[in-house]
Amino acid sequence: MNETIHRTLRKLRLSGLAQSLEVRVQEATANRLSPQEFLELILQDELNIRHQRLLARRIKAASFHDARTLEDFDFSFNPAIKRKQIFDLATCQFVREHRDLLFLGPPGVGKSHLVQAIGHQAVRNGLLVFYRSIFDVVHDLMENETLNGSLKGLSRYLKPDLLIIDDMGLKQLPKKSGEYLFEIIMRRYENRSTIMTSNRPIEEWGKLVGDVPSATAILDRFLHHVEIIKITGRSYRLKDRSNPKEAVDKEDKE
């Protein structure tokens, strides 16, 4: 490609077009494309590259633990999971309606996989997503409050169209956790959507956060517009292990 054109494209920040221009010129010559057809091709190349880069940035900003998708979820392992319900949720209509989701079930049944897969689909639909475990949430806000004497760190939890808080119930949470979680849920209530997962029934959340009034206030708002997805069955993490009892004992200790 002509070096002058290459420099001009760099200055105009048309790097997507620069990557494909030489091939497109050859294609246009071989197929005798009209100037308009050629222009449409190279502009579409630039748009495609920009879209892919934006998608990559948003996926990185979402801080998913794993690159989970619905396509690689084994629905056959646990037929109790309603495939149509999950794919309906992946359309993200619930996010547009500012509704919430709560996935309940024992460890290992696929809750984290499913919520991250829905989160990935939300990103593809142009929505801002942020994924954190409940322990990350508490750690972030406790650290921020210690450093700044305020809860300015809340903004990263309030801005996303979809916030995913995973692993509620794996361990008892530190003091003030209920206050932090309540602040997030209260400010997002009817403004943004939140997904939470828990392996403990909601009746036990007061014990988990060590603050029954805060847990009650959290649930009062969160459950108002929530859809609850209960998952039962065996653990995916145990299916390929030779000694299920040893695996269960190990998982219970984790």
Q: Measured between alpha carbons, how far apart are the two ends of the chain, in Å?
A: 58
Of 13, 39, 61, the last residue of a domain is 61
Mean residue pLDDT of the chain comes to 85
Report pLDDT digits (tens) over 31-64.
999 999 999 999 998 899 989 999 999 999 999 9
Q: Are 39 and 130 in the same domain?
A: no
CA 4 vs CA 9, 11, 12, 156, 181: distances in Å: 9, 11, 12, 43, 56
CA proximity to 119, closest of 145, 144, 146, 101 = 101
**Percentage of the chain exceeding pLDDT 70:** 87
- Model pLDDT, residue 113: 95
- Model pLDDT, residue 252: 43
Q: Are 43 and 169 in the same domain?
A: no
- Model pLDDT, residue 175: 73
Q: Are 203 and 89 in the same domain?
A: yes
Q: Give me the domain span that covers residue 18.
A: 3-61
pTM: 0.81
Q: Are 129 and 238 in the same domain?
A: yes
Q: Are 33 and 149 in the same domain?
A: no
Q: Are 28 and 70 in the same domain?
A: no
- Model pLDDT, residue 253: 40
- Model pLDDT, residue 132: 94
- Model pLDDT, residue 237: 65
90/68: higher pLDDT = 90
Q: Are 156 and 218 in the same domain?
A: yes
Of 61, 80, 111, the last residue of a domain is 61
Q: Are 46 and 132 in the same domain?
A: no
Q: Are 188 and 69 in the same domain?
A: yes
Q: Are 55 and 80 in the same domain?
A: no
What is the CATH classification number for the domain harbouring 123? 3.40.50.300
Q: Are 55 and 68 in the same domain?
A: no
Of 25, 40, 61, the last residue of a domain is 61
Report pLDDT digits (tens) over 120-172.
999 999 999 999 998 888 888 877 665 555 556 788 899 999 999 998 876 66
CA 112, CA 196: separation in Å to the nearest integer? 9
Domain total in the chain:
2
Q: Are 20 and 127 in the same domain?
A: no
Which region holds residue 36: left if phi is over 0, alpha if psi is between -120 and 50, else beta?
alpha
